[in-house]
Structure 1
C-alpha cells in the first residue's frame, strides 16, 4: 500500500515566528484531524526549530527544518507511534525509509511549501519531503524518482538533526532517552570512510582561468565588476556565501575593512555560530578592492565608519542575498569552463563545470596550506574552532606527497 501523500509542516523561520493557526488553514486542518499527539509533536518541533533559528541562524533552521519535517511526516503518516516511544530499531526503520522513500514522496523539482492565496498560506500539493536533483555538470539529465538514493553526507546530516532534536526533547523532559547514537552505530547504510580524502577545490590552473575570465568579463561589461569582486573576495578571504550576503541581522559594509596601528588591513566577517572574526587581507587583494570601489564611484580604499553596503543590488535597496551572489559566481564559472574547454579540452575544464561557490573558500585555504602558512593563522582566518578542523584541508597536501612517492613502484 502506497504511503499517504505528505504535506508541508513548517514554513520559513520568519513565518513560523509569526504563525497563527488561521494563517495556514490546510496545515491546521491536517493537524486537527490527526490524533491529539500529532499536534503535540508538531508543537514540540516548532519550539525546537524556533530555538535553532533564534540561537543559530536561519540557514541552520532551514537545514534542520528539512530533516525534522521528514522525520515527523514519517512518524505521522507511516509509523504512527509517538516519538517518545521510539527505540533504536524504529530509528533504523526510518533510515531504511529515507534510503528508499515512496515515489510520491519524491520530486525532481524544487517546490515552495506554501503559497499566498486570498491572504492565507496554502499548502503546495506539489511539494515533497525528498528531492532528486541532477548533478551540476549535467542539468539536462532526465531523472527517475525510482532511482533516488541519498548520499552518505545526507544520511549523516539526518542523524545530526535527529540527535539534536532528541537532546532537546530530553532537556525539556519530554523524552528520557536518545536512541539516535545507538542507531547511527548500527546503521547498515553508513560506511566508515578511512580512504583517501579529497577537497572540493580548483587546481591553480583552473583558478587562474576563473580569475582571468572574471577580469575579461568585467573589462567587456562594467556591470560584471561585481562578479569579479565577489569571486576574488570569496577565494582570497576564505568567505562562506552567507558571509558576503545580506542577512536579517547583518549586512556586510565597506567599513568592515579596517586597518590596525601597523597599517595592516583586516576584514570583519559574521560567520557560523553568530561569531564575528577578523580576517587578514593580503596586499595582493587591495587592487581588486580599489578597482571595485572605483567602478562604484567611491574613494580608493574604505574609510573608518563608511556606511556603504559591500555588495549592493543594482535595482532596489540593500545587499545581495546568497542566491543572488551564487548566480553571479555561476556566470563566471560557466564562462571559464567554456574558455578552458575550448583551449584545453573537457577533462582539464570539468572541475569548473562541477564547482560550487564553496570551492572558492576551499581553493583559497588549500593554496595557503601549500605555501606553508602556519595552520593556526589560517584556522583563525577561516573561522574554525580549532586547528584540528583546518587540518582536514592539510590531508590533500599529504595525499599529493603520498601519490608522488607511489608512482615509481614497479610490477617486476
Structure 2
C-alpha cells in the first residue's frame, strides 16, 4: 500500500520538544501504531532530531526526507521502531530505497499535507520517492515513469550521511547502544568510488557571450521585466553566487546594504552562505557597473550606502524581496532558452547544445573556472566560500589539458 506522510512542512510543524502530543494527535492515520509506546517514542525522537535543523529550510527538508522514509519503511515493512533496527536491516532499507515498489514512487512533487476543513491532512497523492527525467528528456516530451525511478550516487551518499547522524543523535538520547549505519563496512556495494576528479559542469565562453547578450537585448526591449534579469545573470556568474544566496529565506534577506566599500575604496558583497557562514566577495569593476545600471533603473542612487535596506532582488509584484528560488531558475532558464535559439539561428546548434541541459549552478561553476585561470586560487577560494583548497583545485583544468595533449597524438598502430 502507498504510505501516508508523517512529517509536515516546517512552517506547519509545532515544536516537537514542547508540543509533541499535538503532532501525534493529528496523525489519525497512524493512530494504531502510535498507541504503542515504542512507536510513539520513535516518532518523538525523529521529530526532535529533524526539528533541530530548522535554521535552514533546505537542510530541514533533506533530513526530513531521509528520516521519514526510514520511519515509514521500519514501521510498515520491518514492523519495528527505528531504534530497534540492526545493521542488516539498515542494509535492507538501503536496498529498498534503491529499488522501491511502485506504490512508493510518484511522478511529480506534491505537498505532503493539504488543508482540509481547516485542518492539515495527508495528501493521498504524496509518495516518499519521486521519479524524474532529465531536463533535456523533458524538453523532448518524455515524462517521469515509476518504473524508471533510480537513486543517484549522490542521493545514496546523502542517505548514509543523514541516517548516520540520526543514529548518532539516538545514541546521545540513550535510545540505541550503537550506530547501525556506521557498522556497514561494505558501503562500496552501494556507493561507487568516483574518479579522482570530475570535470566541472559549465557553459563555454561563447555560450556565455550569447547568454549575457540575450539578457542585455531583453533588458532593452522590456526593461521593467528584464533589467532585473540582467543583474541576476551578472551576479550569478560575476560573484559565483548560489541561487539561495540571491533570495530571502528564514536565515537572511539580501539587501543593497550588503554591498560595502572599505577604507581603500574597494567594494565587497557580504553573503550568508552554506552552514550560516558569512563571506565577503570581491566586487569587480564590471560587476559594480552592473549594480550601478540596475540601481539607476530602480530609481536609486548610483551606489548603495551601508545602512540601505532595499531588497536586492525585489518581487515581481508587491513589496519586499524575492523568496522563490524557482522564480530565479525560471528567469535563468528563459535566458538559456533564448540564447540557444539565437545560437541555432546563427548556425551554431552544435555549440549551443549545453544550454539545453545547463542549470543555474553552472553559472557559478563557469565564473569560478574562468577566474581561477587568472587570479590566485586562494583569492578565488575565499570569494567562492569553499571549505578547503581541494574544492577550488577541482576548477583548475591544467591537468586535463596536459593529459589530453599527451594522449591526442597516440597512434592506433604503434611503431
8 A Cα contact 1:21 1:28, kept in partner? no
Residue of structure 2 equivalent to 1:131: 130
8 A Cα contact 2:15 2:51, kept in partner? no
Matches of 1:194 and 1:314, distance apart in 2 = 43
Residue of structure 2 equivalent to 1:11: 8
TM-score of the superposed pair, with normalisation by structure 1:
0.93
User: SS where residue 181 of structure 1 aligns?
Assistant: coil
Counterpart of 1:335 (choices 338, 342, 345) is 338
1:393 Cα offset (Å): 2.4
CA-based RMSD? 1.9
Matches of 1:158 and 1:338, distance apart in 2 = 39
Counterpart of 1:270 (choices 260, 272, 279) is 272
Matches of 1:24 and 1:186, distance apart in 2 = 35
Residue of structure 2 equivalent to 1:261: 263
Matched, 1:367 2:370: yes
1:37 Cα offset (Å): 2.1
Residue of structure 1 equivalent to 2:193: 192
CA-to-partner distance for each residue in 1:297-327, whole Å, 9 max, x for gaps?
1111112211211001131221112222222
Matches of 2:331 and 2:159, distance apart in 1 = 31
Quick one: structure 1 residues 343 and 216, their matched pair in 2 at CA, closer, same or farther if it must change by over 3 Å? Answer: same
CA-to-partner distance for each residue in 1:305-355, whole Å, 9 max, x for gaps?
112110011312211122222222221122112222332444322211111
Matched, 1:144 2:159: no
Which segments of 5 or more consecutive residues in structure 2 lack a partner in the other structure? Answer: none
Residue of structure 1 equivalent to 2:379: 377
TM-score of the superposed pair, with normalisation by structure 2:
0.93
1:19-98 alignment runs, 5 A limit: 28-34=27-33, 35-54=36-55, 57-98=56-97
Which segments of 5 or more consecutive residues in structure 1 lack a partner in the other structure? Answer: none
Q: May I ask how many residue pairs the two structures share in their alignment?
A: 405
Residue of structure 1 equivalent to 2:155: 154
1:5 Cα offset (Å): 1.5
1:84 Cα offset (Å): 2.5
Quick one: structure 1 residues 47 and 25, their matched pair in 2 at CA, closer, same or farther if it must change by over 3 Å? Answer: closer
8 A Cα contact 2:42 2:83, kept in partner? no
8 A Cα contact 1:238 1:361, kept in partner? yes
Matches of 2:308 and 2:207, distance apart in 1 = 35
Matches of 1:199 and 1:143, distance apart in 2 = 27
Residue of structure 2 equivalent to 1:297: 299
Residue of structure 1 equivalent to 2:290: 288
1:44 Cα offset (Å): 0.8
Which 4+ stretches in 1 moved above 4 angstroms? 18-27
8 A Cα contact 1:270 1:276, kept in partner? yes
1:227 Cα offset (Å): 0.8
Matches of 1:392 and 1:184, distance apart in 2 = 28
